[in-house]
């Protein structure tokens, strides 16, 4: 039953150079996986009703006076002393009626555009980490260099569709950091960029940079999404100042807010999946309502990131059954509303080991079967987000590539079944190496891995017995060794630098809190 690779290889060596390569579009994906439900429809309706009760009866604490005024103008009962906002279900329903079902995101090149809607599938690399780690340099506080390298790595893989918040460049002063990260995203990738909501002054700087680098008028910028932010509520039931500002600013400028309460069951959320997701749902509804009050029709994406704590230690856990079920429940609620939505994979492991792989993939399948539109932390995320790993980015990208391959599907037509071109061509106990069907397809039929290695034990041992992690180091170093940035209009890039120099001289824009 063992194939005879050496004979076959010799025969094809000369042809291999001219052989066509497999071409699969990883850039716009539709989720091919069937949707899974964890709760029956009537319980989902109960959760939604309970969330409406939470907003109406228990209320949200909203720290930004401007946001409270917007809610009040929209009909909410507001207690300014307590900073509490009580949102009626009629307000929520009105907001859900204007929130768009489909959001077309304009990247730096048309082939990088993505559409956020139920059914589409968008991956983001692990994000928001204060630290970076790799096998060569170890774990260190995130730096500008790490930010740029991680950007180059995520730009390399088509399967990362949006630039994530990545790793924090801690050596760049906080009042200038948004210039650095936005310039990098504008000049080193043409994928859809991310902007932190760290207060209106920073956000306005970033909008201006993107508008000008893309060569847009104000009206053109505001007409279509050119960037996005992530809004984390402070669970339970709190919307802080920069987050509320972000919701308002992004809505009014036609840019995308992805609303994601980050809730850990048993800590800042109820211990049950049902309770935690009900709370998360209420908080998202509050945020969506604010965006639609700020500007009806503003692009906003439902989201959740709910996992459990380990009740022995209180530490966050990821890729657990509860995490999986929370994704399923959130997916049901997002479909209940009809909105695109974001979920998350991720790992609690402290290094890129088997636990890290298993947790991330378990979380990923939860998101896929939940029908998530955007899956963040789909690669590279360790320590529950305290670090991003270069090697893990590579090994997880392998998994995402395989998911993208599954999105492409397969056929079982006459040619593929191959009765004439394969099945009748080979005698019992023979082999199909030389069948016409094989010869036609050998260079294009299968996905070729980035880091997975199929050498046998002997060959693998002779080559140094490198595990996937060590091989991943070679992969990322090779990617970083080659400049892969897209072309940028030189005049606009110079103008961008001039803008940054001017704003830096003016003192930049400190984050708000």
Please list every residue from 378 through 397 that binds a copy of itself, using CB under 8 A.
Answer: 383, 386-387, 392, 395
Residue of 66, 272, 473, 488 that binds a copy of itself (CB under 8 A): 272
Cis peptide before 236 (omega within 30 of 0): yes
Q: Rule CB under 8 A: is residue 457 a binding residue for a copy of itself?
A: yes
Residue of 255, 280, 308, 373 that binds a copy of itself (CB under 8 A): 308
Angle subtended by helix axes 390-408 and 468-480, to nearest 10? 90
Strands 374-376 and 341-344: parallel
* Binding range to a copy of itself, per CB under 8 A, among 155-163, 178-186, 467-475, 499-507: 467-475
| Cβ closest to a copy of itself, residue 273 vs residue 288 | 273
**Footprint on residues 120-149 left by a copy of itself (CB under 8 A):** 139
> Smallest distance, Å, CB 267 to a copy of itself?
4
Q: Rule CB under 8 A: is residue 453 a binding residue for a copy of itself?
A: yes
Q: Rule CB under 8 A: is residue 234 a binding residue for a copy of itself?
A: yes
State the CB neighbour count (10 A cutoff) for residue 141.
14
Give me the count of residues in the chain.
Answer: 513
The helices-and-strands tally (H runs, E runs) of the chain is: 18, 19
Q: Rule CB under 8 A: is residue 359 a binding residue for a copy of itself?
A: yes
| Cβ closest to a copy of itself, residue 169 vs residue 266 | 266
Phi then psi for 48, rounded to 5 degrees? -60, -45
State the CB neighbour count (10 A cutoff) for residue 40.
10
How many Å apart are CA 300 and CA 292, to the nearest integer? 9
**Cβ–Cβ < 8 Å for 171, 131:** no
| Cβ closest to a copy of itself, residue 181 vs residue 325 | 325
How many Å apart are CA 246 and CA 206, to the nearest integer? 12
User: DSSP per residue over 153-166, as a string?
Assistant: HHHH-TT--B----
Q: Rule CB under 8 A: is residue 18 a binding residue for a copy of itself?
A: no
| Cβ closest to a copy of itself, residue 246 vs residue 508 | 246
Q: Rule CB under 8 A: is residue 274 a binding residue for a copy of itself?
A: yes
| Cβ closest to a copy of itself, residue 88 vs residue 270 | 270
**Footprint on residues 27-66 left by a copy of itself (CB under 8 A):** 32-36, 38-39, 43-44, 46-47, 50, 53-54, 58, 60-61
How many Å apart are CA 165 and CA 177, to the nearest integer? 12
> Smallest distance, Å, CB 253 to a copy of itself?
28
Residue of 94, 172, 216, 362 that binds a copy of itself (CB under 8 A): 362
How many Å apart are CA 317 and CA 405, to the nearest integer? 29
Residue (of 96, 340, 103) closest to 223 by Cα position: 103
> Smallest distance, Å, CB 410 to a copy of itself?
5
> Smallest distance, Å, CB 480 to a copy of itself?
20
What's the token pair of residue 61?
Answer: 């604490």
State the CB neighbour count (10 A cutoff) for residue 83.
18
- Beta strand segments in 266-383, E: 300-303, 305-308, 341-344, 374-376, 381-382
Residue of 17, 410, 481, 505 that binds a copy of itself (CB under 8 A): 410
Residue of 98, 143, 361, 473 that binds a copy of itself (CB under 8 A): 361
Question: Who contacts 349 (Cβ-Cβ below 8 Å, separation ≥6)?
Answer: 355, 356, 359, 382, 383
> Smallest distance, Å, CB 447 to a copy of itself?
5
Q: Rule CB under 8 A: is residue 433 a binding residue for a copy of itself?
A: yes
User: DSSP per residue over 209-257, as a string?
Assistant: HHHHHTT--HHHHHHS---EEEE--BTTTEE-HHHHHHHHHHHHTTPEE
Q: Rule CB under 8 A: is residue 17 a binding residue for a copy of itself?
A: no
Beta bridge pairs of residue 512 = none
* Binding range to a copy of itself, per CB under 8 A, among 66-74, 92-100, 215-223, 443-451: 443-451
> Smallest distance, Å, CB 53 to a copy of itself?
7
> Smallest distance, Å, CB 91 to a copy of itself?
19
> Smallest distance, Å, CB 153 to a copy of itself?
16
Q: Rule CB under 8 A: is residue 3 a binding residue for a copy of itself?
A: yes
Size of the site for a copy of itself (CB under 8 A): 135
Q: Rule CB under 8 A: is residue 406 a binding residue for a copy of itself?
A: yes
How many Å apart are CA 43 and CA 183, to the nearest integer? 46
Beta bridge pairs of residue 324 = none
Assign 293 to helix, strand or coil: helix
Residue of 66, 115, 200, 443 that binds a copy of itself (CB under 8 A): 443
Q: Rule CB under 8 A: is residue 454 a binding residue for a copy of itself?
A: yes
Binding mask 314-353 for a copy of itself (x = CB under 8 A): xxxx-xxxx-xx---x------------------xxxxxx
| Cβ closest to a copy of itself, residue 152 vs residue 320 | 320
Phi then psi for 104, rounded to 5 degrees? -90, 120
Q: Three-state secondary structure along 102-118?
A: EEEECCCCHHHCEEEEC
Q: Rule CB under 8 A: is residue 198 a binding residue for a copy of itself?
A: no
* Binding range to a copy of itself, per CB under 8 A, among 104-112, 177-185, 210-218, 258-266: 258-266
């Amino acid at each position: 039953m063992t194939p005879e690779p050496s004979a076959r290889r010799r025969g094809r060596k000369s042809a291999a150079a001219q052989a066509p390569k497999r071409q699969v579009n990883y850039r716009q994906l539709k989720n091919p996986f069937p949707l899974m439900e964890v709760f029956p429809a009537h319980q989902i309706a109960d959760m939604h009703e309970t969330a409406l009760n939470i907003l109406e009866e228990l209320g949200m604490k909203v720290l930004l006076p401007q946001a409270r005024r917007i809610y009040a103008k929209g009909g909410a009962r507001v207690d300014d002393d307590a900073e509490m906002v009580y949102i009626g279900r009629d307000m929520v329903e009105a907001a859900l009626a204007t929130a768009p079902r489909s959001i077309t995101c304009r990247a730096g090149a048309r082939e990088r555009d993505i559409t956020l809607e139920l059914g589409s599938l968008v991956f983001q690399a692990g994000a928001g980490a204060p630290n970076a780690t790799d096998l060569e340099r170890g774990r260190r506080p995130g730096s500008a260099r790490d930010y740029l390298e991680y950007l180059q790595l995520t730009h390399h893989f088509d399967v990362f569709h949006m630039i994530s918040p990545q790793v924090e460049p801690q050596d760049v002063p906080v009042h200038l950091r948004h210039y650095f990260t936005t310039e990098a995203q504008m000049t080193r990738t043409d994928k859809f960029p991310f902007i932190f909501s760290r207060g209106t002054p920073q956000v306005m700087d970033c909008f201006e940079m993107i508008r000008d680098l893309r060569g847009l008028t104000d009206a053109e910028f505001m007409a279509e999404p050119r960037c996005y932010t992530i809004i984390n509520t402070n669970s339970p039931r709190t919307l802080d100042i920069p987050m509320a500002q972000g919701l308002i600013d992004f809505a009014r400028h036609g840019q995308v807010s992805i609303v994601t309460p980050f809730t850990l069951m048993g800590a800042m959320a109820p211990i049950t999946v049902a309770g935690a997701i009900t709370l998360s749902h209420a908080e998202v509804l509050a945020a969506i309502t604010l965006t639609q009050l700020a500007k009806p029709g503003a692009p906003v994406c439902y989201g959740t990131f709910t996992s459990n704590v380990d009740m022995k230690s209180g530490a966050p856990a990821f890729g657990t059954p509860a995490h999986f079920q929370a994704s399923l429940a959130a997916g049901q609620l997002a479909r209940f509303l009809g909105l695109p939505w974001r979920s998350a994979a991720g790992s609690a492991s402290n290094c890129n080991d088997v636990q890290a792989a298993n947790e991330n993939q378990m979380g990923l399948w939860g998101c896929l079967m939940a029908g998530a539109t955007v899956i963040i932390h789909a690669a590279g995320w360790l320590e529950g987000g305290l670090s991003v790993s270069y090697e893990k980015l590579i090994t997880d990208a392998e998994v995402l590539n395989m998911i993208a391959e599954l999105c492409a599907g397969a056929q079982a037509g006459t040619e593929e079944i191959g009765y004439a071109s394969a099945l009748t061509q080979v005698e019992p106990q023979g082999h199909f190496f030389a069948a016409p069907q094989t010869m036609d397809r050998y260079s294009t039929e299968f996905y070729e891995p980035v880091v997975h290695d199929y050498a046998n034990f002997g060959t693998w041992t002779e080559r140094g017995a490198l595990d996937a992690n060590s091989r991943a180091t070679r992969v990322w170093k090779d990617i970083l060794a080659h400049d892969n940035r897209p072309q940028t209009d030189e005049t606009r890039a110079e103008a961008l630098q001039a803008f940054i120099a001017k704003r830096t001289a003016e003192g930049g824009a400190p984050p708000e809190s």
